[in-house]
Amino acid sequence: MKKTIDENKQGESLFLEAKQENSRKLFIESYGCAMNFSDSEIVASILSEQGFNTTQNLEDADLVLVNTCSIRDKAEQTVRKRLEKYNAVKRINPKMKVGVLGCMAERLKTKFLEEEKIVDLVVGPDAYKDLPNLLAEVDDGRDAINVVLSKEETYGDISPVRLNSNGVSALVSITRGCDNMCTFCVVPFTRGRERSRDPHSIIEEVNDLWNKGFKEITLLGQNVDSYLWYGGGLKKDFSKASDLQKATAINFSQLLELCAKAQPKMRIRFSTSNPQDLTLDVIKTMTKFDNICKHIHLPVQSGSNRILKEMNRLHTREDYFNLIDNIRRILPECSISQDLIAGFPTETEQDHQDTLSLMEYVKYNFGFMYMYSERPGTMAERKLEDDVTEDTKKRRLAEIVQLQREHGAIQIKKYLNTEVEVLIERESKKSNDQWSGKTSQNIVAVFPKENFKVGELVKVKVLDCTSATLIGEAVGY
């Protein structure tokens, strides 16, 4: 399973030779979740075999692809503006082809291709291996489309091309699709039902990344905690598996342990977790291995049981508190972050106060907070009236953001006068004389460069902090 360093260098050499032969240029942009960025790396790998090198210069591109997100209206509007820009360039360079990938592809395929005629090809998240055939269609002057969802595709056999990489951190996709039919979310319809990737291919990718110098990976999925490998197939079909398949199945806590043991010096992160699927064995596995980072991103979406039910979230407020209590008890050094939606349909002032009181109980380290945005095709769009006014949504979101700032400040000050381990990722945005990196808890820290290098793990004494950043000085490796 594990490649030797010589084999890896030989592979890199062959890849570089192939790149030199590539004559066409690919410009690819990604929007939305980390899964889209991971998918773009798979697409770049598939197209490198078809003679494409990636370019940062839009005007040089023979093929322009945008990997899209449908989770909020703002993301879709951003993509539309980019498509306008691409087509302006295309008028100067008519040979350039434009394509849409990802979550917007299935929903807007007819609109983009036939009605607005703003793209040449539309490719859904499970059809990237069909890109060579689709490009041949485009080269022959025909529009091309494949948005068919798959029950098996995980791209486990594709070695991703790391795009815009800092050479330190990488994404490793472990599941595709989602079975949690949250009423506000379009993912199950755009990415299909949940299936897990072969653990052997995951470990091979982890080992390969370590051999290439990467120091940290993030195991990635719409819902990583429900990872379940029993030989292939949909998660929902596990009940039909044979006794042998059930006995030898690998769940997420076991996969986490396999990754931690495969590369003991590599940091392991994971995202995203779902409250109803995050089990105690995952938390206990995190305590067993120093290289598993002590941070859990745990979206709650609302603090109101009534709204959670309307959202079809399969947990209650009390379930969530119980999970938080267990994390704090078993792994007290763990940081916790959230996703929250303000102004979901029918949300009352009391529901909003329930969200604020949940935040008071948890006191998250940081979070991602949004106003509700009705998405076409979701159950909420079909069944619920978007009846909370824009002004009320904005006011409630502002109150959530303000409370999160207060809690974030409380949490970050706990690190003052302590030592933290920081993985150096890049130069600080504010000073060329400082490094920037993250702690195990996913908190940014900056400190003077001295003789340290990108990719090194450094002990940092925390002397000061802002609302989101630790400021200190290195005290050794």
Three-state DSSP at 367 gives: strand
- The 3-state DSSP class for residue 207 equals helix
Residue 147's Cα: distance from chain center in Å? 21
Distance CA 127, CA 147 (A): 6
Q: How far apart are CA 344 and CA 311, in angstroms?
A: 8
Quote the CA–CA distance of 185 and 47 in Å, as a whole number: 30
Spatial CB neighbours of 2, under 8 Å, sequence gap ≥ 6 = 204, 207, 262
465 annotated ligand-binding residue: no
Tokens representing 34 are: 């980390």
| Rounded Cα gap, residues 279 and 272, in angstroms | 14
- Distance between CA atoms of 132 and 112, rounded to whole angstroms? 20
Instruction: For residue 224, give the DSSP letter.
Output: G
- Dist CA 416 CA 39 (whole Å): 39
Residue 253 φ then ψ, to 5°: -65, -35
Query: Is there a binding annotation on residue 293?
Result: no
Asked if residue 67 lies in contact with residue 34, where contact means CB atoms within 8 angstroms, the answer is no
Are 183 and 310 in contact by the 8 Å Cβ rule? The answer is yes
Rama region for 177: left / alpha / beta (φ>0; ψ in -120 to 50; rest): left
Distances in whole angstroms, Cα of residue 216 to Cα of each of 131, 170, 212, 235, 282: 30, 6, 12, 28, 19
- How far apart CA 95 and CA 403 sit, in angstroms, is 52
Asked if residue 69 belongs to a known ligand binding site, the reply is: yes
Output the known binding site for [4Fe-4S] cluster.
Answer: 33, 69, 103, 178, 182, 185
Annotated binding site: 33, 69, 103, 178, 182, 185
